[in-house]
Amino acid sequence: MGLVTHSLFAAAGLSVLLARSAVAFSVVKYAGAAYLIYLGVRALLDRESFVLPRGVASVRLRSIFTQAVASNVLNPKIAVFFLAYLPQFADPAVGGTAPQLLALGLVFALMTWAIFSVIALFSGTLGTWLRTRPKLAGGLGWLTGGVFVGLGVRLAFTDRQ
Protein backbone atom coordinates (compact mmCIF):
# COMPACT_ATOMS: atom_id res chain seq x y z
CA MET A 1 0.00 0.00 0.00
CA GLY A 2 2.93 2.31 0.58
CA LEU A 3 4.11 1.79 -2.99
CA VAL A 4 0.57 2.36 -4.25
CA THR A 5 0.58 5.64 -2.33
CA HIS A 6 3.89 6.61 -3.95
CA SER A 7 2.44 5.64 -7.35
CA LEU A 8 -0.49 7.97 -6.76
CA PHE A 9 1.89 10.72 -5.63
CA ALA A 10 4.03 10.30 -8.74
CA ALA A 11 0.98 10.33 -11.03
CA ALA A 12 -0.32 13.47 -9.32
CA GLY A 13 3.05 15.19 -9.57
CA LEU A 14 3.61 15.27 -5.80
CA SER A 15 6.93 13.46 -6.14
CA VAL A 16 8.17 16.41 -8.18
CA LEU A 17 7.08 18.74 -5.38
CA LEU A 18 8.89 16.58 -2.84
CA ALA A 19 12.05 16.52 -4.95
CA ARG A 20 12.00 20.28 -5.59
CA SER A 21 10.85 21.51 -2.19
CA ALA A 22 13.55 21.42 0.44
CA VAL A 23 10.99 21.88 3.22
CA ALA A 24 8.70 19.07 2.04
CA PHE A 25 11.66 16.75 1.50
CA SER A 26 13.04 17.57 4.94
CA VAL A 27 9.70 16.93 6.66
CA VAL A 28 9.37 13.49 5.09
CA LYS A 29 13.06 12.75 5.59
CA TYR A 30 13.08 13.59 9.31
CA ALA A 31 9.75 11.89 9.96
CA GLY A 32 11.11 8.76 8.30
CA ALA A 33 14.39 8.98 10.22
CA ALA A 34 12.57 9.44 13.53
CA TYR A 35 10.36 6.44 12.78
CA LEU A 36 13.36 4.22 11.95
CA ILE A 37 15.12 5.29 15.14
CA TYR A 38 11.94 4.64 17.14
CA LEU A 39 11.65 1.12 15.69
CA GLY A 40 15.35 0.47 16.36
CA VAL A 41 15.22 1.67 19.97
CA ARG A 42 12.10 -0.44 20.53
CA ALA A 43 13.94 -3.48 19.20
CA LEU A 44 17.00 -2.75 21.35
CA LEU A 45 14.96 -2.26 24.53
CA ASP A 46 12.78 -5.29 23.92
CA ARG A 47 13.67 -7.86 26.59
CA GLU A 48 11.86 -10.59 24.72
CA SER A 49 13.42 -12.80 22.13
CA PHE A 50 13.44 -11.93 18.43
CA VAL A 51 11.00 -14.80 18.00
CA LEU A 52 7.83 -15.00 20.08
CA PRO A 53 7.71 -18.00 22.39
CA ARG A 54 4.92 -20.50 21.91
CA GLY A 55 1.59 -19.58 23.47
CA VAL A 56 2.05 -15.80 23.26
CA ALA A 57 -0.77 -13.83 21.69
CA SER A 58 0.07 -12.74 18.17
CA VAL A 59 0.35 -9.13 17.08
CA ARG A 60 -2.72 -7.74 15.37
CA LEU A 61 -2.45 -7.75 11.60
CA ARG A 62 -3.76 -4.17 11.47
CA SER A 63 -0.86 -3.00 13.62
CA ILE A 64 1.69 -4.73 11.36
CA PHE A 65 0.01 -3.34 8.25
CA THR A 66 -0.09 0.22 9.62
CA GLN A 67 3.56 0.05 10.65
CA ALA A 68 4.62 -1.24 7.23
CA VAL A 69 2.66 1.39 5.29
CA ALA A 70 3.95 4.21 7.51
CA SER A 71 7.58 3.16 7.12
CA ASN A 72 7.15 2.91 3.34
CA VAL A 73 5.26 6.18 2.83
CA LEU A 74 7.68 8.11 5.07
CA ASN A 75 10.71 6.86 3.15
CA PRO A 76 11.79 9.81 0.97
CA LYS A 77 14.16 7.64 -1.04
CA ILE A 78 11.22 5.70 -2.47
CA ALA A 79 9.60 8.95 -3.58
CA VAL A 80 12.83 10.05 -5.22
CA PHE A 81 13.14 6.61 -6.84
CA PHE A 82 9.64 6.94 -8.28
CA LEU A 83 10.48 10.44 -9.49
CA ALA A 84 13.80 9.51 -11.08
CA TYR A 85 13.06 6.05 -12.42
CA LEU A 86 9.43 5.81 -13.56
CA PRO A 87 9.28 8.90 -15.79
CA GLN A 88 11.96 7.41 -18.03
CA PHE A 89 9.41 4.85 -19.20
CA ALA A 90 6.46 7.20 -19.69
CA ASP A 91 5.97 8.28 -23.31
CA PRO A 92 4.15 11.63 -23.66
CA ALA A 93 3.43 10.80 -27.32
CA VAL A 94 1.26 7.85 -26.28
CA GLY A 95 -1.01 9.92 -24.05
CA GLY A 96 -1.06 11.42 -20.60
CA THR A 97 1.95 10.65 -18.47
CA ALA A 98 -0.04 10.48 -15.21
CA PRO A 99 -1.91 7.26 -16.13
CA GLN A 100 1.33 5.73 -17.42
CA LEU A 101 3.16 6.60 -14.18
CA LEU A 102 0.30 5.18 -12.16
CA ALA A 103 0.33 1.94 -14.18
CA LEU A 104 4.10 1.59 -13.89
CA GLY A 105 3.99 2.26 -10.16
CA LEU A 106 1.22 -0.30 -9.65
CA VAL A 107 3.15 -2.93 -11.65
CA PHE A 108 6.18 -2.23 -9.47
CA ALA A 109 4.03 -2.52 -6.32
CA LEU A 110 2.55 -5.82 -7.54
CA MET A 111 5.99 -7.27 -8.28
CA THR A 112 7.24 -6.14 -4.88
CA TRP A 113 4.21 -7.73 -3.21
CA ALA A 114 4.91 -11.04 -4.96
CA ILE A 115 8.56 -11.06 -3.91
CA PHE A 116 7.81 -10.05 -0.32
CA SER A 117 5.09 -12.72 -0.12
CA VAL A 118 7.69 -15.38 -0.87
CA ILE A 119 9.98 -13.87 1.75
CA ALA A 120 7.10 -13.88 4.27
CA LEU A 121 6.41 -17.55 3.61
CA PHE A 122 10.08 -18.35 4.17
CA SER A 123 10.11 -16.22 7.34
CA GLY A 124 7.62 -18.56 9.02
CA THR A 125 10.02 -21.45 8.56
CA LEU A 126 12.91 -19.33 9.78
CA GLY A 127 10.92 -18.26 12.86
CA THR A 128 10.27 -21.88 13.77
CA TRP A 129 13.98 -22.64 13.41
CA LEU A 130 14.95 -19.60 15.55
CA ARG A 131 12.58 -20.67 18.34
CA THR A 132 15.00 -23.50 19.10
CA ARG A 133 17.99 -21.11 19.15
CA PRO A 134 17.11 -18.28 21.60
CA LYS A 135 20.64 -16.81 21.78
CA LEU A 136 20.82 -16.46 18.02
CA ALA A 137 17.31 -14.97 17.98
CA GLY A 138 18.28 -12.47 20.69
CA GLY A 139 21.36 -11.47 18.72
CA LEU A 140 19.20 -10.89 15.65
CA GLY A 141 16.98 -8.58 17.73
CA TRP A 142 19.99 -6.50 18.72
CA LEU A 143 21.27 -6.52 15.16
CA THR A 144 17.89 -5.41 13.82
CA GLY A 145 17.62 -2.60 16.37
CA GLY A 146 21.15 -1.43 15.65
CA VAL A 147 20.58 -1.44 11.90
CA PHE A 148 17.33 0.54 12.22
CA VAL A 149 18.90 3.13 14.52
CA GLY A 150 21.92 3.37 12.21
CA LEU A 151 19.74 3.82 9.12
CA GLY A 152 17.62 6.44 10.88
CA VAL A 153 20.68 8.41 11.99
CA ARG A 154 22.23 8.13 8.52
CA LEU A 155 19.00 9.31 6.90
CA ALA A 156 18.74 12.24 9.30
CA PHE A 157 22.30 13.40 8.70
CA THR A 158 22.74 12.85 4.97
CA ASP A 159 22.67 15.89 2.73
CA ARG A 160 20.13 16.17 -0.03
CA GLN A 161 21.70 15.38 -3.37
Tell me the per-residue pLDDT of 1-30, one tens digit each, with 9 for 90 and over. 888 888 887 777 765 665 677 777 777 778
Residue 152 has pLDDT above 60, yes or no: yes
Which pTM does this prediction carry?
0.55
Q: Are 137 and 49 in contact (CB under 8 A)?
A: yes
What's the mean pLDDT when you consider all of the chain? Answer: 79
Task: Identify the pLDDT of residue 149.
Answer: 92
Q: pLDDT digits over 50-90, tens only?
A: 555 566 667 788 988 898 888 888 877 777 777 766 776 77
b/e burial code for range 11-23 (CB count within 10 A of at least 16 → b): beebbeebbeeee
